[in-house]
Structures are given as C-alpha cells and as structure tokens.
Amino acid sequence: MRPPLPPLSFAIAALGLLPMPGRAAGSPTAAPGPNHFAREIAPTFEKYCTECHAGEKPEADLMLRFKDETDAKTRGGTDTAFWNKVLKMVRTKEMPPEDAKRQPTEADRTLLADWIARDMLAIDCEKPEPGRLIIHRLNNREYANTLRDLFYLPANYDVAADLPADDRGAGFDNNSNMLTLSPVHIEHYLAIAEKVVPYAFNLDGKGYGPSKTKLTAPLSGFTADFSNWQEKARRILVVLTPRIYRRPVTDEEMEQLMKFVALAYTHDGESETRAVGLAVRAALMSPAFLFRLERDPAPDGTGKPYPINEFELASRLSYFLWASMPDDELFQLAGEGKLRANLEVTVKRMLRDPKASSLTTDFLGQWLEIRSLEETPNCPPELLKAMKGETERFFDYIATEDRSIMDFLNADYTFVNATLAKHYGMTGVEGDGFRKVPVDPEKRGGIFTQASILTLTAKPLAVKGAAATRRPSPVNRGKWILENIFNETVPPPPPGVPPLKIDDGVELKGTVRQIFEQHRADPKCAQCHAKMDPYGFALENYDGFGAWRDQDNHEPIDASGSINGKKFTTPKEFRAVLASRQDDFRRAFAEKLLSYALARGIEAFDQCAVDEIAAAVKTDGDRFSSVIMGLVQSYPFQHARGSANPPSVAVTKDAPLDPISQTVLKSISKP
C-alpha cells in the first residue's frame, strides 16, 4: 500500500501560488452629476418595473423599489448575484415581459445598465480585471492528450479511461473551480505514470518504437560509459522536463530530478535508462505537470494584476484550442519572446491543425450538449450517430472556412450522410460519408432545425402497446435555445406545480401545443412559459426525432408565435425573428467561448472584455476567427492577478528532497 501524499495545499504553497477571492472592478462610464439616482434611476424603475417587482411579494423575489441609492446598494449586499441578475434582464430585454404595458427605450435600458454596472457592481472598464488566480488541474481529456503529445504516443492510446469523471461548472468540464484533486486521482496518476513511461521508453521491450526514438534523440552522438552515465540521464531530462513542466526548468528543479536518478541507481541497482524513467515518473507527479500554474513575476502580497509570460500564454492558447500541451513551435516562439508579436499568425496555424478538432468535440459538444447524444434513449443508434455527425461537421465547416457565426442561426446548408438524408427526406445521398447539401429554406436552416438538437430536446415516450418513441417538448426546446444560444437563465418550476399528464405516456387528446397552452393558464407557470414557449412552439413542425411533420395528432401544426413584439407563423419566419437577436447571440457566443478559454465562469467584471470582443466581431463581419482573435487578445486572457499573500514556503538549492518528492520516490521505486 502506498503512503499518503501530503496535502495539495503544501504543494501550492511551496510554489508561492495561493488562491485569492475575486475583486470587483470599477465603473464603465464617468459618474453622472448629483441626484442622478433620484432624478433618473428611481423614476425609470417605477415606470417599467415596480408594477411587478414591488410590494410584499415581488415577482421572482426581486424588489426594485428603493428608498434611495444607499437602500439599492444594501439590497445587493456583498453578493453580486442580485444586481447581476437585474443587469442581465435589462440587457437581454428579458424584462419587462413582451406583454407589459410599457417597454423601455434603448436609452432607458442603457441608462439602467450603466448605472447597475458602474454604481452597484463597481465595474470600471478603464481598470480591467483579469479575475482571481486559479490553480487549474488538467482535466481528464487535457491530461490524456498531454501525455500522448508529450511522449509521441499513438492517438488511440487511452491513458485516462479509469480516472474519476470531471464535474462540470458553468457548462464545461474544464472549469477550474470544479477540478478538485482526490486521493483516488493520485492513485490513478501514479498507476498511469508507471504504465506510460516504460511503454514510451520501451523499458520492457514491449513499448512504442517511434516514441523511444524521439525521446532518446538528445543522446545522438553521445557515448555512454560508467563514468558519465549521469550525463546521459541529464541530457534526456534537460530536453524532456521543460516539455513536462511546459516552461523552462530551474537548476534547482533539475537537481531534484537528478537525485531520483542517483538514488534509484545507487540504492536500488536500476539501470541508467530505468533510473531516467523513475525521474520522469516523478516529474509526472509534480504539480508543475498536473496543474497549469502561473507565477506572479514579482510577488509583493498586493495581489496586483500582471501580464502572463509567454510560456504561460502558450499554455493558455494550446489548452484552449487543442486541449493539450504547446507544440515545439509554440515553445520556440515563447522561448524567443516572440509569441505575442506573432499571435495572429500563430492562432491561424493552430486552428488549421487537426488538434483544433477539440473545439468541436469538447467546446461544441458541451455548449450544445450533444457530446453524449449517443446515449439518448428511444432512438436508433445509427441515426443518433448521423445526427451528431451533422452538427459536428457543421461546426467544423464554420471554424475551418472562417464563416460567419450567424450561420448558426440561419445557414442555408448542412451536412448529411445516407442515413440522415433518408431521415430528412432528401434524395441522391449515398454512403456513410457526410457531404455539404443545401436545405429547403421553408423547412430548415441553422442549428435549431438539426435533428441532433431536436432529438436532444424531445422526451422519451412509451405509449402502452406501441414501440418506444419520442415526442417534441416545446418547453425543453424553448429552454434550450434561451440558455444555450442566448445565455439566458430560465428558473426551475415553482414548488408544488404538478407535471403535465403528457409526461405519463398517455394517449394525447389534442395537440402538444394545446396541452401546453392549458398548462400556461396556471398563473404560477405563465410568466416563464410565456418566455420559453414561443421558441418551442416555433419548432412544432419537427417531431421527436427532428423529422418534418405537417400534423400533430391529426390536426394541422400551429407554429406561430411572437418574440419581443415580432410575430411569425412558420419556421422560416421564426429564423428571421432570431436574426433580429444577432447582437444578443454574438455576445452570448463570446461569453460561452471566453468561459471555456479561461476555464472559469464569466463574472460581472468580464462584461468589459465581452463587449470589446462582440464589437470587434461585428465590425469584422462576424467571422469565426474574429471571435477567437478577440478572445486571445483580451485583457483577461492575457493577464492574471497575483496572490494577496506572499509565498509561505521557499525551496532552496541546498534543500533535501521535499516531502512530496520523498513520498513519490517511496511510492514508485522498488522496495
């Protein structure tokens, strides 16, 4: 049984990296004159909001009638969630609801949004905020990809199959706040290191030939004998360790690893190559490998923001676009101090690299929630595979061809194979391969009408005596569009609301729409359903598997509705209404991608960066690459905030093996 490792906090403290709470930034615009709240803000709330959000039981528990500005600040307290929620409702036009008697003008909305951001949330775009320091453990996907790239292993070499599943936060499983480290992780990391290193270095004669060739390349022309075997080990480690740590390695760190070599060779009688392997396994257990660590170059305990160095920038880029470690070209540019100067050409090269497919499998898969589509019940596996393939190739095409991101809303093309073409009623498509085809604009266009999304947002249904099937769910579909496409939060149903009988698998009496409209008659449900249902009813022409239909339960489909005062009667008209929300989608897409890139949730102070990215993307014709470039050039992507506490533990050159190294040595060396 292996001895327990010291607490992770020791490792973090030893590196001088202590997490700190976030700090709010200041205001986006200059402060207005005196009595601004009494003269303009309070009357605007009274005019548009307090009919519902005042009194003893304000709607959604949001009281928006205030005695004065101090009362307003007290209402939010130390928790920014209150004002963040109000700000989002104002900006996205979620409130007032569409059927309200009075609707704010754009000037009114800007007035309230600026006041909330400036005075309630203290956001100052002149003093940008990168967010708190986060220690990011490589998630399972990043860990596996990194080991494969580090040791030049084949693409099908699975090193992370048995690791505990990563939790998701803010919609993504690379969220740093969710990536905890448990004893189970340590056990698996040790087991993986003990397996992958012998395989990569061919220590047991059963390893991977091409990898040994590349890992021992530093020994080309070197003749080893008994007197210089340590130099042989050092030559390999000097080249490999910076790739393991993804940055230059100090003399002290190299000496630490050489102690593993010496101890393994002299104490345990290991061969030179096996001793090197032991040192490499120890390096794979280091926080410098398992975590993405960013150091404050001049820690003084003030917690000041600073630009990350070029090696840290290389890692941010590679784990964002590739979900893996930097390649040789990124390392070279960072080492020469030329990465920032060549950022645009570098990003374009990285997007062309096959490893950028991780944006499709991981970002797209989680953004649109299709990553596990194959597990959807009540649908043929072959059809599910084709559905997922359509959406993935659609995203690939937008990314690789640098198309407008507005194609997500209303593209006139898609990608199908024979299975999906038959499902859609298309002819002339044969085989399993996907091809780009035009769509009938009266029936399809954009991601909303793709079968993957329509099936994902349907519900399993098993009518007695009939085969298992699926039925459309206007609520699920409307909620999915609002949350995934426009980044709006839909609250859960209030307590005590019974489920619809439609969910019990009983035979329907009337159409799905008629049943849901009856459900909306409940005052407790009406407000949220009035917001969600129009998006879902607009997709009633698509059955539970996304196939087109003209009738529901022998009655003509009614796909009409109204969103933000704009009416529609057909899916085509619905997509035109969505096009009127391009500004909302542009911003929501930037927020989703920024959250994925920063590996954290989006905070109120990030709105300055999101606004800048969205504005630049709009100016550049909404090209996909402009979103990526705006993001990697943004302040939060290029900066970090130092620790508010000085390092508590220092590792000196003459220090013996630290406790973590001692434990690792005991764990992975022979008794």
Tokens of 110: 């800007």
477 in any annotated domain: yes
Question: Do 274 and 166 share a structural domain?
Answer: yes
Question: Do 140 and 219 share a structural domain?
Answer: yes
Q: What is the CA radius of gyration of the chain?
A: 28
- d(Cα 468, Cα 474) in Å, to the nearest integer? 20
644 in any annotated domain: no
Asked whether 433 and 390 are in contact (CB, 8 A), the reply is: no
Of 537, 553, 579, which marks where a domain is finished? 579
Question: Do 185 and 260 share a structural domain?
Answer: yes
300 in any annotated domain: no
The Cα-based distances of 112 to 42, 341, 429 in angstroms read 10, 40, 53
Nearest to 174 by CA among 291, 85, 77, 70: 291
Per-residue pLDDT band at 660 (split at 50, 70, 90): very low
Tokens of 190: 């040790």
555 pLDDT above the threshold of 60: yes
- d(Cα 27, Cα 122) in Å, to the nearest integer? 5
Whole-prediction pTM: 0.85
Question: Do 662 and 518 share a structural domain?
Answer: no
388 in any annotated domain: yes
DSSP code, position 144: H
- d(Cα 242, Cα 249) in Å, to the nearest integer? 6
Question: Do 555 and 412 share a structural domain?
Answer: yes
Question: Do 563 and 527 share a structural domain?
Answer: yes
257 pLDDT above the threshold of 70: yes
Question: Do 394 and 347 share a structural domain?
Answer: no
First to last CA, the chain: 12
Q: Which of the residue ranges 9-23, 248-262, 373-387, 469-483 would you say has the lowest mean pLDDT?
A: 9-23
Cβ neighbors of 135 (< 8 A, separation 6 or more) are 12, 17, 19, 176, 291, 292, 293
* Site of tokens 């859609």: 424
DSSP code, position 416: E
Mean pLDDT of 400-408: 97
Range of 259-263, 439-443, 520-524 with top mean pLDDT: 439-443
- d(Cα 193, Cα 582) in Å, to the nearest integer? 48
Question: Do 502 and 556 share a structural domain?
Answer: yes
Question: Do 424 and 313 share a structural domain?
Answer: no
Q: Where are the beta strands (DSSP E) in 208-353?
A: 291-292, 305-307
Identify the burial level of 158 via C-beta atoms within 10 angstroms of its C-beta, where 0-12 means exposed, 13-18 middle and 19 or more buried.
exposed
Question: Do 387 and 513 share a structural domain?
Answer: yes
Task: Give bridge partners of residue 172 from the DSSP assignment.
Answer: 169
Amino acid at residue number 271: S
The Cα-based distances of 349 to 329, 330, 346, 607 in angstroms read 10, 11, 5, 29
Q: Which of the residue ranges 152-166, 217-231, 451-465 would you say has the lowest mean pLDDT?
A: 217-231
C-alpha atoms less than 13 angstroms from C-alpha of 452 in its C-beta half-sphere: 27
Provide the Cα torsion 622, 628, 634, 638; round to 10°.
-170
- d(Cα 518, Cα 515) in Å, to the nearest integer? 5
Maximum distance among all alpha carbons in the chain? 90
Q: Print the domain residue range for 658.
A: 8-16+134-293+650-668
* Site of tokens 């929300």: 581
pLDDT recorded at residue 657: 41
585 in any annotated domain: no
Per-residue pLDDT band at 247 (split at 50, 70, 90): very high
- Helices 229-245 and 272-284 pack at an angle, to 10 degrees, of 20
Question: Do 454 and 575 share a structural domain?
Answer: yes
pLDDT recorded at residue 1: 36
Of 551, 579, 607, which marks where a domain is finished? 579
Tokens of 12: 């973090």
Q: What tens digit of pLDDT does each residue of 405-417 get?
A: 999 999 999 999 9
- d(Cα 584, Cα 614) in Å, to the nearest integer? 10
Amino acid at residue number 371: R
Q: What tens digit of pLDDT does each residue of 19-75 get?
A: 323 333 333 555 676 689 999 999 999 999 998 899 988 887 889 999 999 998 887
Helix ranges, 401-541 (H): 407-410, 418-424, 451-456, 474-480, 512-519, 523-537
pLDDT recorded at residue 665: 43
- d(Cα 398, Cα 405) in Å, to the nearest integer? 7
Q: Number of folded domains in the chain?
A: 4
Question: Do 533 and 571 share a structural domain?
Answer: yes
Identify the burial level of 431 via C-beta atoms within 10 angstroms of its C-beta, where 0-12 means exposed, 13-18 middle and 19 or more buried.
exposed
24 in any annotated domain: no
611 in any annotated domain: no
**Within 10 A of 142 (CB to CB), how many other CB atoms are there?**
26
Tokens of 161: 């199959």
536 in any annotated domain: yes
Of 90, 120, 150, which marks where a domain is finished? 120
